[in-house]
Amino acid sequence: MSKDETSVVYLKGSFRQTCGYCGCIFSVEVPGRIRNEGPENYCCPECNKRFPVKAADKPRVTLIHGRADGLKKKYSND
């Protein structure tokens, strides 16, 4: 495999997720790169709850439906 092939960033996957904390729905697009991925995080767009993922770069998060719990509280990640 050439060097160029391993450095290309591609869309590894995209999926929809319901946040377990606030109940909002968002989509996640995970960038991949062959043999060049590491631990990344993405955050819920409403409550900021953090989710780990293996990716080449920070995943892109798009809010689809706002939070369902009616609160404004942010998730405490630590």
> What does the binding site for Zn ion look like in residue numbers (CB under 5 A)?
19, 21-22, 44, 46-47, 49
- Least distance (Å) between residue 13 CB and Zn ion: 20
Q: Is the separation of the CB atoms in 51 and 40 below 8 Å?
A: no
Tokens of 77: 């990640």
- The answer to whether 15 and 27 are in contact (CB under 8 A) is yes
Q: Taking the complex as a whole, how short is the minimal distance between the CB of residue 4 and Zn ion, in angstroms?
A: 38
Q: Give rounded-to-5 percent helix, strand, coil for the chain.
A: 5, 45, 45
Which residue's CB is nearer to Zn ion, number 49 or number 55? 49
User: Which residue number, 22 or 56, has a Cβ lying nearer to Zn ion?
Assistant: 22
**Cα Rg of the chain (Å, integer):** 15
Q: Closest distance between Zn ion and the C-beta of residue 26, in Å?
A: 8
CB nearer to Zn ion: pick between 27 and 37 = 27
